[in-house]
Amino acid sequence: MHEMEESMHRFNAVMGIDESESRTRKCSEQHFGKGAKKTNSNSHPKVEQDDPAWQLLAEKNSLDIQLYEYVRELFDEQKDIVESFSSSAKASAENSVEVPAESSVEGPWWQHPLYKNRGA
């Protein structure tokens, strides 16, 4: 999986999970591995794009591929949104420093101004 560590960081930021806690690190290492050995899938042979098997899979799963490409675009676009979650949490933890309204997060993520205004 591409960007697994970034995905985990984003999940933790949005859910308010403190990544510096020993308990959190141990849980992550237990479920996903440690260091370069991090993984969340079973091993399988690599199939190259010029392989007939890859071509057949791509043809049969063209809509899945389109969906994956769209999700990758969203992943890149949502970086600023997720960072605002981290910023808001850090600001609250550090002597209740006020965070500007445009970067503070209240309510569901899909109602966040950066998310709602994407593509506008």
Cα 109 to Cα 5: distance, rounded to the nearest angstrom = 20
pLDDT in tens, 55-69: 999 999 999 999 999
Structure pTM?
Answer: 0.51
| pLDDT score at 99 | 44
Cβ 105 vs Cβ 82: under 8 Å: no
pLDDT in tens, 28-37: 888 777 766 6
Cα 108 to Cα 26: distance, rounded to the nearest angstrom = 28
Where do the domains of the chain lie? Answer: 1-40, 49-120
Is residue 10 scored above 60 in pLDDT? Answer: yes
